[in-house]
Amino acid sequence: MRMTVIGTGYVGVVHAATMADLGHEVLGTDIDEERIAALSSGTPPVYEPGLQELLQRTVASGRLRFTTDVASAARFAPAHFVCVGTPQQPGAKRADVRSVEAVVDALAPHLGPGDLIVGKSTVPVGTAARLAERLRRTAPQAGLAWNPEFLREGFAVQDSAAPERIVVGVTSEHDEEVLRELYAPMLRVGVPFFRTDPSTAELVKVASNSFLATKISFINAMAEVCDAAGADVIMLAQAVGADSRIGPRFLQPGLGFGGSCFPKDIRGFMARAEELGVGGAVAFLDEVDAINTRQRTRTVELTGRLVGGSFADANVAVLGAAFKPDSDDVRDSPALAVAESIRRRGARVRVHDPEALDNARSAAPGLQYTLDVPKACEDADVVLHLTAWPEYRAIDPAALAPLVRRPTVVDARHTLDADRWREAGWSLHAPGRPQPGE
Ligand code: UGA
């Protein structure tokens, strides 16, 4: 089938390439000309494992093309996936849906009977209904559905090709049929398909992200209690997670969540619930947010104690800038926030990251950056392990020790081999875990 994808951020590009790989003829559009030029030659706009290969394969097949002309895209296909961003409004918790509205307005005059707009962007519940009303004025015979996206950065290609579920919020049999046909190869291999109304589909997305964020903040709250009680949050998480009703995933304590989704989605959800008069029902998300932010402050405070109470003249090495491993995304990155906060307090901070340095440099130009781990750690008074890149686990602590001023490391992600670092002479601090001898 023919389809378009409007907005070529990480969701849009991955969706477009995945659908072309399934055999559809896909036209991707974006207002960013440079991005469209790069995509047309098979270069992805973001670092995402497997994406470059997938993009090159589908562009070479001729089934995936890109344009900046939304009007020609509108005429190209009967189904249009909207994948534009919905950022948090500055100074408010609410999501900004103006880009989604603009896309619907741009498509509407070109749509005919049976044509379908499918929203993928994360939006406040009720947006689809409002947009459908707007669409009825210019394109009364076109449909509007909501089909949230659950892919994770770092696993986007595999999540998109083999999703755990497909959720479609539709208002007609016809619209459901179009989506069933587009996803037919996935449905044939048994991917669960949930047909709902558009409001439920919109809510599935924010409810899922809220649940996951709550699970992370729950275990981080337990880490704080463990610190106060001299208990071990890693053992606690393993034993609690062994209950199959709870499960071990998203129960990893550490520096907390970041990225472009969880923080903004839980805030947007609270704002929308308040508008609906049910703010109290999700007021706990404020606490989830506060616990999450506190993990950053706790790490800064711990670092302050480890450098003797004053950051002036301290050298701090930071391992990791991305909000999580296998991503070059630094949006609301806990690692970068900690690094910046320490720099503002007067320390010299040198940051290493294998993929995110370009993005980090433009987001936080005051920090020093290097692509070399030993260089980042040279003369450091403390080394902070803030993003769980696998290569940090492979660091030889014995080889690193002679380079630093003091062999002190904070493992804020709990993925370093603590025994190995301690045997190599390091003082290793892991929030939520007792120090040996405590
Ligand atoms: C998240 C969801 O997992 C996706 O399902 C959703 O589609 C996406 O948001 C979105 O709304 O677009 P993503 O932000 O890529 O995906 O990242 P996750 O892997 O979910 O991690 C989010 C954050 O939580 C990261 O900062 C990660 O380090 C942190 N985290 C995760 C923990 O601190 N502990 C854990 O146990 C798990």
DSSP codes, 120-154: -S---TTHHHHHHHHHHHH-TT-EEEE----PPTT
Predicted pLDDT at 83: 97
Amino acid type, 374: P
Positions of the chain with pLDDT under 70 = 438
The two tokens of residue 3 are: 């389809």
Query: What 3-state class would DSSP assign to 344?
Result: helix
Give yes or no for residue 324 CB within 6 A of ligand 1. yes
Give yes or no for residue 252 CB within 6 A of ligand 1. yes
Q: CB-based burial of residue 368 (10 Å sphere; 0-12 exposed, 13-18 middle, 19+ buried)?
A: middle
Residue 418 has a CB neighbour count (10 Å cut-off) of 18
CA distances from 419 to 397, 423, 424 (A): 11, 6, 9
User: Which among 13, 337, 352, 349 is positioned nearest to 149, based on CA atoms?
Assistant: 13
Give yes or no for residue 150 CB within 6 A of ligand 1. yes
CA distances from 4 to 24, 80, 115, 256, 396 (A): 10, 5, 12, 36, 49
Give yes or no for residue 64 CB within 6 A of ligand 1. no
Residue nearest to atom 12 of ligand 1 (CA): 261
Find out whether 76 and 1 touch, Cβ atoms under 8 Å: no
Give yes or no for residue 259 CB within 6 A of ligand 1. yes
403 CA distance to ligand 1 middle (Å): 34
Predicted pLDDT at 47: 85
Mutate-to-test residue for ligand 1 from 236, 251, 324, highest number of ligand atoms within 8 A of CB: 324
Single pTM value for the model: 0.95
Q: In the sheet where 79-82 sits, what is the strand order? A: 64-67, 25-29, 2-6, 79-82, 116-119, 143-146, 166-169, 193-196
Output the CA angle 318-295-207, nearest 5 degrees: 120
d(CA 322, CA 367): 14
Give yes or no for residue 254 CB within 6 A of ligand 1. yes
341 CA distance to ligand 1 middle (Å): 23
Q: 261 catalytic, yes or no?
A: yes
212 CA distance to ligand 1 middle (Å): 8
261 CA distance to ligand 1 middle (Å): 8
Q: Which ligand 1 atom is the nearest neighbour of the CA of 153? A: 15
402 CA distance to ligand 1 middle (Å): 36
CA distances from 295 to 24, 386, 430 (A): 45, 11, 12
Q: Which alpha helices (H) appear in 108-259, and where do they start and end?
A: 127-138, 156-161, 173-182, 184-188, 198-229, 233-241
d(CA 273, CA 157): 32
Predicted pLDDT at 46: 86
The two tokens of residue 234 are: 């890693």
d(CA 27, CA 81): 10
Find out whether 48 and 37 touch, Cβ atoms under 8 Å: no
Q: Which of 83, 226, 261, 377 is catalytic?
A: 261
Give yes or no for residue 253 CB within 6 A of ligand 1. no
